[in-house]
């Protein structure tokens, strides 16, 4: 049987075996290439990259030191920042009707964001904020990091920031924007804008999800939960 090439590799292999997680699953779960963990365990390098080990440790929900050992931790006094890359693949902009919020795949680009252990294993993607419809919280040009509610397996809650999609009654186009969720005691869902602009102050009121047909209500779907945001060049407002 092939043996790990380093003590770090041996520790990682032991941890994966104890948790019943394959090398491939650990690699992909950490946002790395599918062979990343295998390279740490069986690779030729005597000093696997600490960033790779840190990302795998974050996915396994263990301290990095459990893989590297205390000696390696002392040699690397700097605390690593656990990061991963996500794709920015569309935008959110109120008041502009179009056929899709998702760009052609050739226009997607990646940004580096911290790993959020609260949402390990969920697919995250980014949407660029355009316009002023949510500028109190997410200024124009920032990127909101979102997870589809279909993947999360839960419904929106009061206080959530969400991506809401509204379909035009006359065309197949729709608009998407970020809204703040309020759920009343009767089950009514209110989607509030978050803007300093007077043009974006009217909330969208949705009926309770009670299985009844509510004629005349807006055709709005709550698509995704905002779990983070990123702004590359923040600017002051006066």
pLDDT in tens, 53-85: 989 999 998 988 888 886 444 455 555 667 889
HSE-up (13 A, CA, CB side) for residue 94: 21
Instruction: For strands 143-148 and 125-129, give the pairing.
Output: antiparallel
> For 102, which DSSP code?
B
Tokens of 56: 């795998």
Identify whether 235 is part of a domain.
no
Q: Are 105 and 212 members of one domain?
A: yes
Identify whether 185 is part of a domain.
yes
Q: Are 52 and 94 members of one domain?
A: no
> What was the pLDDT predicted at 238?
64
Q: Are 58 and 112 members of one domain?
A: no
Closest CA to 66 of 4, 5, 10: 10
Asked whether residue 42 carries a pLDDT value surpassing 70, the answer given is yes
**Position with higher pLDDT, 178 vs 71:** 178
pTM, two decimal places: 0.61
pLDDT tens track for 201-232? 888 888 766 555 544 445 788 999 999 998 87
- Confidence band, pLDDT 50/70/90 cuts, at residue 3: confident
Strand, coil or helix: 182: strand
Average pLDDT over residues 125-149: 89
- Split into its structural domains, the chain has a count of 2
Q: Are 11 and 44 members of one domain?
A: yes
Q: Are 130 and 54 members of one domain?
A: no
Closest CA to 128 of 101, 97, 180, 88: 88
High-pLDDT (> 90) share of the chain, %: 32
Q: Are 57 and 134 members of one domain?
A: no
Identify whether 108 is part of a domain.
yes
- Confidence band, pLDDT 50/70/90 cuts, at residue 162: very high
CATH of the domain at 92: 2.10.109.10
Identify whether 204 is part of a domain.
yes
- Cβ–Cβ under 8 Å, residues 12 and 6: no
Number of H helices, E strands in the chain: 7, 9
Closest CA to 125 of 78, 171, 176: 176
Average pLDDT over residues 131-159: 90
Cβ neighbours around 61 below 10 Å, total? 9
Asked whether residue 151 carries a pLDDT value surpassing 90, the answer given is yes
Q: Are 116 and 207 members of one domain?
A: yes
**Position with higher pLDDT, 2 vs 224:** 224
Q: Which domain holds residue 53?
A: 7-75
Q: CA gyration radius for the chain?
A: 22
Say how far apart CA 92 and CA 164 lie, in whole Å.
9
């Amino acid at each position: 049987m092939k043996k790990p090439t380093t003590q770090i590799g041996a520790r990682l292999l032991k941890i994966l075996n104890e948790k019943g997680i394959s090398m491939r699953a650990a690699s992909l779960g950490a946002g790395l290439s599918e062979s990343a963990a295998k390279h740490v365990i069986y690779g030729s390098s005597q000093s696997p990259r600490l960033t790779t080990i840190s990302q795998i440790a974050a996915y396994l929900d263990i301290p990095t030191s459990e893989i590297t050992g205390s000696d390696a931790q002392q040699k690397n006094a700097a605390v690593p920042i656990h990061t991963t890359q996500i794709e920015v693949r569309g935008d959110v902009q109120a008041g502009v009707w179009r056929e899709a919020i998702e760009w052609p795949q050739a226009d997607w680009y990646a940004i580096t964001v911290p790993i959020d252990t609260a949402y390990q294993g969920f697919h995250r993607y980014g949407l660029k904020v355009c316009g002023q419809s949510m500028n109190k919280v997410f200024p124009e040009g920032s990127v909101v990091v979102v997870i589809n509610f279909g993947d999360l397996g839960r419904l929106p809650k009061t206080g959530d920031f969400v991506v809401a999609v509204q379909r035009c009654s006359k065309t197949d186009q729709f608009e998407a924007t970020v809204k703040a969720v309020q759920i009343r005691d009767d089950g009514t869902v209110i989607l509030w804008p978050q803007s300093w602009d007077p043009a974006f102050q009217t909330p969208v009121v949705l009926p309770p999800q009670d299985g009844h047909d509510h004629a005349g209500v807006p055709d709005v779907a709550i698509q995704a939960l905002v779990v983070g945001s990123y702004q590359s060049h923040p600017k002051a407002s006066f």
